[in-house]
Amino acid sequence: PPQPLILDPQLRFPIEARILSEWNDNKDDPNQIVRQPWIICGDTVDRERVDKVEEAGAKVVPVQLDSHGRISPNSLPSILTSLNLKSVMVEGGSRILSSFLHAPPREDGSPLVDSVIVTVAPMFIGDGDENTNLPILKTVHTEVMGRDAVMVCEVHISP
């Protein structure tokens, strides 16, 4: 299975995340298909935070961030090579996906990305403010139209 790789410059990863609990619940099962999540973060993240995330079961890989405080797409091939990764699963939004698609090829000339899986969920993520009361979407209909996928949802205001 692909290696779950999370790009999280500030290491804000919630240790209650499902990807981590699935790993912890199944890591001793010889037939398990879940792999330990690896989190690439900035090398200036507080050591206590790194320790807490590692104690929760993730592998944390600190790297130098670019001048904007981000993990540079240009550094991705060398980071992945140094981790001896040939297959990774990267989850993120449009900025992360674009970073990988625009990253330079690996040292051997092979492309960094060989396939993309896009998942769309009927929900709003928000701007990180937990007090934001965003509506809940209920999927009514989905349809594939040529190269586009269309999702029709009803909006429900949560109390």
SS3 14: coil
pLDDT over 90 (residue 34): no
Planar angle of CA 23, 24, 25, nearest 5 degrees: 95
Structure-block tokens of residue 90: 């990267």
**Cα–Cα–Cα angle for 122, 126, 131, rounded to 5 degrees:** 120
CA dihedral (16, 22, 54, 90) positive or negative: negative
pLDDT band, residue 53 (cuts 50/70/90): very high
CB atoms within 10 A of CB 76: 24
Of 111 and 132, more confident: 111
Residue-wise pLDDT tens digits, 112-150: 788 887 777 776 665 555 556 778 888 889 899 999 888
Give the pTM: 0.67
Answer whether residue 72 shows pLDDT above 90. no
CATH numbers and ranges of domains, the chain: 3-102 (3.40.430.10), 120-159 (no CATH)
Q: Give yes or no for residue 109 having a pLDDT over 80.
A: yes
pLDDT reported for residue 131: 52
- Report the chain's terminal Cα–Cα distance, integer Å: 41
